[in-house]
Each structure stands twice: as structure tokens, then as C-alpha cells.
């Protein structure tokens, strides 16, 4: 096994954070002077293989390492992740080859939680709708909004990002409901959060924000049947993963008012191609920009650097692959 703290370690970097941000590039090269840094996307399998050939460590963004890619890279020992999640990696394929991964959870929690709060405020006050009208040359009488203050806000998934959302909501004097598979009594008591089961979360939340990981238990969770269990007139925010929510079901319920407004930063297919959803006047769509803050990019890049030496062989069915 290679000593990954050795500056002669064969490091190849596919994450474009290092080519875009000189401080990250300088920190990397100070430790690994011979590191190769990609300046263009390596999403295609052949490009990824060609670039990583001979490397023992790959510092990556969200590139997918299929069995074919891994078979073509016999020298690879460590995958260090700059990403917020690891759902683009197959733990069984990595475990079978003894390849270790370095990953730090919650690295972009401040950026995503701020965006979630931004989208909540946008929806309840119809900010984006009003901006679209104004840019089209229409001085349209404003829609009647409501205050976020005093609302019942549900948080589905109270992990690293969800907890930050709880903290950001404190000045708004909201009633906060949280649903998470891990009980957090001390944090909930400190922040005035009520722990609830999914059915109660869906029935009571006037604003519902999703912060679940993408895994076998959450993919497709928000089916049309679940969407029908949401409180009528709910405002729905998703900055987690697009595959969690049925987009066509949301579009249908926006059209008839069962959902008052929805804001998504993530989609089942990206770039998004769901005109029935994105064309709704009550929908706000963003191009997966939750982590697009300079501070978040630096934190994610530095998490990748740490992953070069802080890593372990993953195991299917255990966090974060459960």
C-alpha cells in the first residue's frame, strides 16, 4: 500500500475546483508537487481512464467510477472526494478491490442551508414570480404572500444541512418540525424542535424543506401518493437530490393549487428537461447551485485534500452507503 502522505504519491485531480481556484491548486502542489490537475471535464469513461492511468490517488468531484473504469485503473488505491455526497460511487465495487475513499460529510452545509432559507423566503413572498413579471415589462399587482415568520416549517432530514437550517430559522419565530431516522433529543431541545414521524411532518408543515441523502431508502420517496398527504397549500423546497421527489407529481399539484409553490435546486435528470414543472409560474428552479459559494468550494477542495490521507475501504449498507 502506498504511503499517501509521501509527496511523491501519484496524485491525479479530476475535480475542477483545483484548476478554478488558485489557493486550492497551490495547497495541493505544496504537498504533492507532481500532482496532475485536470482543466476540463472527465465525465466520459475513456477520458477518466486516460487521465487517471498510473495514479494511486484520485481527487474527484462527481465522476462515476464504474466497474469498467476501475478495472482499467489497477494502480488506484484511494479516491478522495470533494463532493457533498458519495452516491456517485459504488461501495461494493470499491470494497471488492480494496480501494479506500476519503470523504467528509456536511462540507457544504452552510452554503446549502442558506440557499434553502433563501428559497423559502422566495416562495412565500413570490419574489421570483414578481421579478419575472417586472423583467417582462409588466407592473403586475403583487400576489398575496405570507410571512415566513410564525409558519410551521418541516425539515425532512436533520443531518448536517438540516441542523444548519434549524439554526438559521431561529430568528423567524417559526414552529420547527423535524423528521430524521436518528434521534437528536439534546439538539432538538436546545433549538426548540419537535421530532415527528413522516405522516405528521407532511400533514402539518406549511413550508417543507428536504435534506435527505440519496440512497435506497429515499429514492422515489415523494411519490404522488405521498405528495397527496402534504398539507394543502404547502410550499415545498428541495435542495437535496432530485430523484427523491416525483417531478411530474409536483407539476400536477402546482397546477391545481394543492402545492402553493415549489423550489428545486436538484432534478432527476440534470440538465433538467421537465417543462411541465419548470414552466409553472409557482415554481423556482435552479441549476444545482447549492454549493456555489467561494467558501463552500474552498471547503470542498480541502476536504478532498484531507481525503488523500484520511480514508477507509467502504462497506455497502453502512453510512454513507446505507
Active site residues: 241, 270, 288
Distance of CA 110 to the CA centre of its chain: 12
Within a 13 Å sphere around the CA of 110, how many CA atoms are in the beta-carbon half?
9
- Gap between the Cα atoms of 55 and 124, Å rounded: 50
Cα-based distances in Å from 197 to 184, 201, 234, 286:
14, 6, 18, 29
Name the grid cell of 288. 444545482
Largest CA distance in the chain: 67
Q: Is 55 left (phi over 0), alpha (psi -120 to 50) or beta?
A: beta
Q: How many CB atoms lie within 10 A of CB 120?
A: 25
Q: Which residues of 243-277 are buried (b: 16+ CB within 10 A; e: fewer)?
A: bbbbbebbbbbbeeebbbbbbbbbbbeeebebeeb
Strand partners, 156: 179, 210
Burial (CB < 10 A; 0-12, 13-18, 19+), residue 81, is buried
- Gap between the Cα atoms of 60 and 194, Å rounded: 38
Q: Are 286 and 75 in contact (CB under 8 A)?
A: no
Q: Is 207 left (phi over 0), alpha (psi -120 to 50) or beta?
A: beta
Amino acid at each position: 500500500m502506498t504511503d499517501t502522505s509521501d509527496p511523491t504519491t501519484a496524485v491525479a485531480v479530476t475535480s475542477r475546483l483545483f484548476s478554478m481556484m488558485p489557493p486550492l491548486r497551490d495547497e495541493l502542489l505544496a504537498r504533492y508537487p507532481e500532482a496532475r490537475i485536470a482543466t476540463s471535464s472527465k465525465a466520459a469513461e475513456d477520458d477518466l481512464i486516460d487521465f487517471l492511468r498510473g495514479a494511486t490517488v484520485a481527487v474527484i468531484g462527481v465522476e462515476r467510477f464504474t466497474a469498467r473504469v476501475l478495472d482499467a485503473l489497477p494502480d488506484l488505491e484511494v479516491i478522495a472526494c470533494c463532493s457533498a455526497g458519495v452516491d456517485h460511487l459504488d461501495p461494493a465495487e470499491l470494497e471488492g478491490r480494496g480501494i479506500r475513499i476519503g470523504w467528509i460529510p456536511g462540507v457544504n452545509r452552510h452554503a446549502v442551508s442558506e440557499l434553502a432559507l433563501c428559497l423559502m423566503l422566495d416562495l412565500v413572498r413570490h419574489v421570483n414570480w414578481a421579478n419575472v413579471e417586472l423583467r417582462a415589462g409588466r407592473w403586475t399587482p403583487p400576489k398575496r404572500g405570507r410571512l415566513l415568520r410564525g409558519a410551521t416549517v418541516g425539515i425532512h432530514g436533520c443531518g448536517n444541512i438540516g441542523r444548519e437550517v434549524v439554526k438559521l430559522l431561529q430568528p423567524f419565530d417559526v414552529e420547527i418540525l423535524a423528521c430524521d431516522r436518528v434521534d437528536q433529543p439534546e439538539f432538538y431541545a436546545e433549538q426548540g424542535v419537535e421530532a415527528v414521524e413522516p405522516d405528521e411532518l407532511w400533514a402539518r408543515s406549511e413550508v417543507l424543506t428536504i435534506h435527505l441523502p440519496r440512497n435506497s431508502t429515499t429514492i422515489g420517496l415523494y411519490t404522488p401518493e405521498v405528495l397527496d398527504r402534504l398539507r394543502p397549500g404547502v410550499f415545498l423546497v428541495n435542495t437535496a437530490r432530485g430523484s427523491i421527489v416525483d417531478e411530474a407529481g409536483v407539476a400536477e399539484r402546482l397546477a391545481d393549487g394543492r402545492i402553493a409553490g415549489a423550489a428545486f435546486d436538484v432534478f432527476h435528470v440534470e440538465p433538467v428537461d421537465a417543462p411541465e414543472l419548470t414552466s409553472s409560474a409557482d415554481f423556482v428552479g435552479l441549476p444545482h447551485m447549492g454549493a456555489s459559494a467561494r467558501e463552500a468550494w474552498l471547503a470542498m477542495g480541502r476536504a478532498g485534500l484531507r481525503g488523500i490521507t484520511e480514508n477507509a475501504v467502504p462497506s455497502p449498507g453502512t453510512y454513507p452507503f446505507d
